[in-house]
């Protein structure tokens, strides 16, 4: 645990309402749509003619995060970001969140403050208002549920379905890094368990660790596409891994696809860590989760426009062959894309470690 006993304040001293006041003090609402925030029985939101989008993510200690290597501030930040990413995936903008939190008595006031510092930093950075929540106790472990509310013009919203044959498959940023960060953290945890005197050896791995511990939501890509005059024909965020998300898009649009291994965007550090773990980098990109990049399709006629946007890779295209999701490897072999999914590989790794 991160709190050591010397600077530990028991939450019981504050009480539930004292804690809520403490966590939400000084919040200034930034979005005109946020009519009323924390302090009544419900928040009031006025999206003024725009569509309202809602999504929720529930994070459970020991299932979705491991506090032995996840700093609480990062956890709070990530809990908000994964929801902002869902809004980006709809080509929408997050405007408000409500946060439900359940704490066991293992958690001090300082620990909850750290979680909220992360949540509030994410809100500042992405100009989202924290307008409410619920606070309760748990028998064991930490639960964080973040509900996000977003807005978009009806004509801007992108669904997973809607794409056509020949549409170009594009991804933002690079893939596989967050998974490599996780493998490093799990490896250091195993080393530490075996010998608590060992110091973690994570120097020089900043990029992949940051991708795991402090991901970002690609609202900037939503803006860049809008500025370029492009509306994706379908879109999803990459939380479970490229392979699994590609299959979601293909299924939703009733299409097949071809992607090219040598077009997959993979950072050099991701590739070198993958090799250290005796893993082919493209497998990390296909099956590693939690990158929170956007996977989307555009019409072929938008090729020039999308090609000009920095940080977007065109990795393949949709085909009419329903059920055929194929990757052409660097040496020109063709193989079926298998979605192991993020949880599957994570479980495999944990069993092995
Ligand atoms: P109720 O009894 O109606 O559920 P609460 O006492 O739980 O109300 O909450 C009081 C106010 O504080 C509400 O506006 C609620 O949205 C807000 N709130 C409660 N817990 C949190 C939290 N963890 N983060 C942010 N706001 C919270
Ligand atoms: Mg309540």
pLDDT at 168 (0 to 100): 98
Position 353 in a domain: no
Alpha-carbon gap, residue 148 to 84, rounded angstroms: 7
149, 190: one domain: no
Instruction: State which of 155, 189, 206 marks the end of a domain.
Output: 155
Atom of ligand 1 nearest to the CA of 130: 25
Instruction: State which of 98, 127, 155 marks the end of a domain.
Output: 155
Position 104 in a domain: yes
184, 113: one domain: no
pLDDT at residue 346 tops 80: no
Q: What is the CATH number of the domain that holds 279?
A: 3.90.650.10
Position 34 in a domain: yes
107, 135: one domain: yes
- The number of domains in the chain is 2
Judge whether 262 and 196 are in contact, CB under 8 Å. no
Instruction: State which of 155, 176, 208 marks the end of a domain.
Output: 155
147, 178: one domain: no
220, 81: one domain: no
Of the candidate ranges 184-193, 249-258, 311-320, 325-334, the one whose mean pLDDT is the lowest: 184-193
The mean pLDDT value for 65-83 works out to 96
CA dihedral 206, 294, 55, 91 (to 10 degrees): 130
pLDDT exceeding 90 applies to what percent of the chain? 86
Atom of ligand 1 nearest to the CA of 41: 3
Position 207 in a domain: yes
Atom of ligand 1 nearest to the CA of 132: 16
Position 161 in a domain: no
3-state secondary structure of 241: coil
**What's the whole-model pTM score?**
0.92
Q: Give 196: exposed, middle or buried? Use CB within 10 Å, 0-12, 13-18, 19+.
A: exposed
Which residues form the domain of 254? 168-348
Residues 230-282: tens digit of each pLDDT: 999 999 999 999 999 999 999 999 999 999 999 999 999 999 999 999 999 99
pLDDT at 345 (0 to 100): 45
Spacing, Cα 134 to ligand 2 middle (Å): 4
pLDDT at residue 148 tops 60: yes
Alpha-carbon gap, residue 102 to 142, rounded angstroms: 6
180, 211: one domain: yes
pLDDT at 200 (0 to 100): 72
pLDDT at 351 (0 to 100): 39
Q: Which ligand is nearest to the CA of 99?
A: 1
10, 131: one domain: yes
Spacing, Cα 41 to ligand 1 middle (Å): 7
51, 96: one domain: yes
Q: What is the CATH number of the domain that holds 67?
A: 3.30.1330.10
248, 327: one domain: yes
Position 343 in a domain: yes
Position 163 in a domain: no
Spacing, Cα 327 to ligand 2 middle (Å): 49
Spacing, Cα 55 to ligand 2 middle (Å): 19
The mean pLDDT value for 282-303 works out to 96
Q: State the pLDDT confidence band at 5, using cuts at 50, 70 and 90.
A: low
129, 228: one domain: no
- Pocket perturbation via mutation, ligand 1, pick of 36, 38, 103 by most ligand atoms within 8 A of CB: 38
261, 314: one domain: yes
Where does ligand 1 bind, in terms of residues with CB under 6 Å? 20, 23-24, 38-41, 99, 101, 130, 132-135
Position 187 in a domain: yes
Spacing, Cα 39 to ligand 2 middle (Å): 10
């Amino acid at each position: 645990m991160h709190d050591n006993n010397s600077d530990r304040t028991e939450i019981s001293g504050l009480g539930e309402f004292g804690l809520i006041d403490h966590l939400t003090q000084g919040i200034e609402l930034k979005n005109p749509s946020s009519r009323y925030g924390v302090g009544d029985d419900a928040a009031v939101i006025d999206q003024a003619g725009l569509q309202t989008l809602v999504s929720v993510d529930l994070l459970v200690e020991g299932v979705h995060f491991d506090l032995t290597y996840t700093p609480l501030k990062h956890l709070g930040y990530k809990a908000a970001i994964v929801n902002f990413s869902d809004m980006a995936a709809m080509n929408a903008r997050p405007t408000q969140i409500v946060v439900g939190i359940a704490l066991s008595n293992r958690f001090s006031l300082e620990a909850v403050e750290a979680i909220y510092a992360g949540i509030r930093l994410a809100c500042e950075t992405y100009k989202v208002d924290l307008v409410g929540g619920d606070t309760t106790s748990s028998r064991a472990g930490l639960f964080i549920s973040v509900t996000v509310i977003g807005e978009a013009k009806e004509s801007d919203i992108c669904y997973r379905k809607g794409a056509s044959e020949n549409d170009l498959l594009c991804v933002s940023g690079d893939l596989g890094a967050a998974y490599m960060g996780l493998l490093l953290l799990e490896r250091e945890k195993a080393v530490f368990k075996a010998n608590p005197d060992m110091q973690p050896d994570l120097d020089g791995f900043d990029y992949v660790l940051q991708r795991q511990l402090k991901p970002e939501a690609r609202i900037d890509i939503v803006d860049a596409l809008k500025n370029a005059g492009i509306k994706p024909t379908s879109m999803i965020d990459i939380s479970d891994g490229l392979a699994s998300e590609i299959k979601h898009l293909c299924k939703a649009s009733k299409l097949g696809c071809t992607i090219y291994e040598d077009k997959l965007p993979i950072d050099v550090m991701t590739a070198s860590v993958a090799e250290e773990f005796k893993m082919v980098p493209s497998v990390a990109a296909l099956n590693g989760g939690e990158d929170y990049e956007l996977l989307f399709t555009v019409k072929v006629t938008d090729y020039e426009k999308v090609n000009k946007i920095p940080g977007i890779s065109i990795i393949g295209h949709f085909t009419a062959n329903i059920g055929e999701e194929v990757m052409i490897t660097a040496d020109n072999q063709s193989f079926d894309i298998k979605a192991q999914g993020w949880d599957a590989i994570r479980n495999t790794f944990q069993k092995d470690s």
